Structure 1
Amino acid sequence: MERSLTSASSAPGALPREGDVRHAPGRGLAAVRIWLLVVAAMIIAMVVVGGATRLTESGLSITEWKPIHGTIPPLTDAEWQEEFLKYQQIPQFKLMNPDMDLSGFKFIFWWEWSHRLLGRVIGLVFAVPLVFFWWRGCLPRRLRWPLAGLFALGGLQGVVGWWMVASGLVERTEVSQYRLAIHLTLACLLLAAVVWVAEGLAPPRRRSAALPSRVPTMALVIVAAVLVQIFLGGLVAGLRAGWTFNTWPLIDGTLVPGNLFVQQPWWVNLFENPLTVQFDHRMVAYGVFLLALVHAVRSRGTAAATGAWGLFAAVTAQATLGVLALVHMVPLSLGLAHQFGAVVVLTIAVAHARHTVPVSAT
Structure 2
Amino acid sequence: MATSALSADLHGSDGNIRSRPLAIARWLEIVAAFVVVIVLVGGITRLTESGLSITEWNVATGILPPLNEAAWQEEFAKYRATPEYRLEASVGGMTLADFKFIFFWEWFHRLLARLVGVVYALPLLWFWMKGAIPAGYKPRLIGLLALGGLQGLFGWLMVQSGLVGDMTDVSHFRLSLHLLTALLLLGGLVWTARDMRRLAREPAAAPAPLTAASALVAVVLFVQLLLGAWVAGLNAGHAAYDWPLMNGRLIPEIDWSSGFVWTLTHDPFLLHFLHRWWAWIAVIALVWLARRVRKTDRLASILVHSAFGLMILLGIATVLSGVSLWLAAMHQLTGALLVASTAWAMHSDGVNRQSRRAQ
* TM range, smaller chain: 0.7 to 0.9
Q: Which digits, 9 at most, give the CA deviation of each residue in 1:65-85, with x for residues without a partner?
A: 111221121111110000000
Alignment partner, residue 7 of structure 1: none
Per the alignment, residue 343 of structure 2 pairs with: 350
Does the C-alpha gap of structure 1 residues 11 and 252 become closer, same or farther in structure 2, counting only changes over 3 Å? closer
What are structure 1's unaligned runs of at least 5 residues? 1-9, 208-214
Aligned to 2:207: none
Q: How does 1:132-281 map to 2 (within 5 A)?
A: 132-170=126-164, 171-203=166-198, 217-259=212-254, 262-281=256-275
| Alignment correspondent of 1:108 | 102
Aligned residue in 2 for 1:314: 307
**For residues 255 and 294 of structure 1, do their structure 2 counterparts lie closer, same or farther at Cα, with a shift above 3 Å needed?**
farther
Of residues 120, 127, 147, the one that matches 1:126 is: 120
Q: Distance in 1 between matches of 2:139 and 2:19?
A: 21
1:14-64 CA distance string (max 9 Å, x none): 999999664368982111001000000000101110001100000000001
Could you tell me which amino acid in structure 1 is paired with residue 102 of structure 2?
A: I
State whether residues 21 and 139 of structure 1, in contact with CA within 8 Å, keep that contact through their aligned partners in structure 2: no
Q: Distance in 2 between matches of 1:305 and 1:316?
A: 17
Contact 2:49–2:102 (Cα < 8 Å) also in 1: yes
2:351 corresponds to 1:341: no
Distance 1:193 1:294 in 2: 21
278, 284, 287: which one aligns with 1:293: 287
Aligned-pair identity (%): 37
Over 3 Å counting, the alpha-carbon distance change for 1:346 and 1:103 in structure 2 is same
Q: What secondary structure, in the 3-state scheme, does the structure 2 residue paired with 1:154 have?
A: helix
- 2:172 alignment partner AA: Q
Change (3 A) 1:350 1:89: same
Query: Partner letter of residue 43 of structure 1?
Result: V
Q: Distance in 2 between matches of 1:49 and 1:306?
A: 27
Question: Following the alignment from structure 2 to structure 1, what is the Cα–Cα distance between the partners of residues 345 and 152?
Answer: 28
TM-score in terms of structure 1 length: 0.87
Distance 1:23 1:218, change over 3 A: same
Aligned pair count? 344
C-alpha distance in 1 between matches for 2:121 and 2:270: 41
Deviation at 1:134, TM superposition (A): 0.9
SS in 2 for 1:201: helix
Structure 1 residue 137 displacement after superposition: 1.2
For 1:34, what is the secondary structure of its paired residue? Answer: helix
Distance in 2 (alpha carbons) for counterparts of 1:26 and 1:196: 22
Call closer, same or farther: CA 1:306–1:30 in 2, change over 3 Å.
Answer: closer
RMSD of aligned residue pairs (Cα, Å): 2.9
Output one character per residue of 1:203-255: Cα deviation in whole Å (capped at 9) or x when no partner: 36989xxxxxxx95434433332232122111001110001211111123332
Distance 1:197 1:277 in 2: 33
Report the residue type matching 1:142 in the other structure.
G
* Counterpart residue number, 2:44: 52
Q: In structure 1, give the amino acid aligned to 2:87.
A: L
Q: 1:5 is matched with which residue?
A: none
Superposed CA deviations along residues 261-295 of structure 1, whole A, max 9, x for unmatched, are: 51432011121000111111112211111222344
Superposed CA deviations along residues 136-165 of structure 1, whole A, max 9, x for unmatched, are: 111123110221121111111111111000
1:360 Cα offset (Å): 8.2
1:81-96 matches, within 5 Å, as 81-96=73-88
What residue identity is the alignment partner of 2:226?
F
Cα pair distance change 1:202/1:360, threshold 3 Å: farther
Runs of at least 5 residues in structure 2 that lack an aligned partner in the other structure: 203-209
Q: Cα 1:306–1:147, aligned 2, differ >3 Å: closer, same or farther? A: closer
Q: 1:242 to 1:95 in 2, by over 3 A?
A: same
Contact 1:52 1:332 in 2 (8 A): yes
Name the aligned partner's letter for residue 346 of structure 1. V
Question: Of 42, 53, 71, which residue of structure 2 is paired with 1:79?
Answer: 71
In structure 2, how many angstroms separate the alpha carbons of the residues matched to 1:299 and 1:249? 32
| Residues 1:324 and 2:313 are matched in the alignment | no
Cα separation, partners in 2 of 1:24 and 1:53, compared to 1, 3 Å: same
| 1:355 Cα offset (Å) | 1.6
Distance 1:92 1:347, change over 3 A: same
Normalising by structure 2, we get a TM-score of: 0.88
Task: Tell whether the 8 Å contact from 1:56 to 1:108 is kept in structure 2 after alignment.
Answer: yes
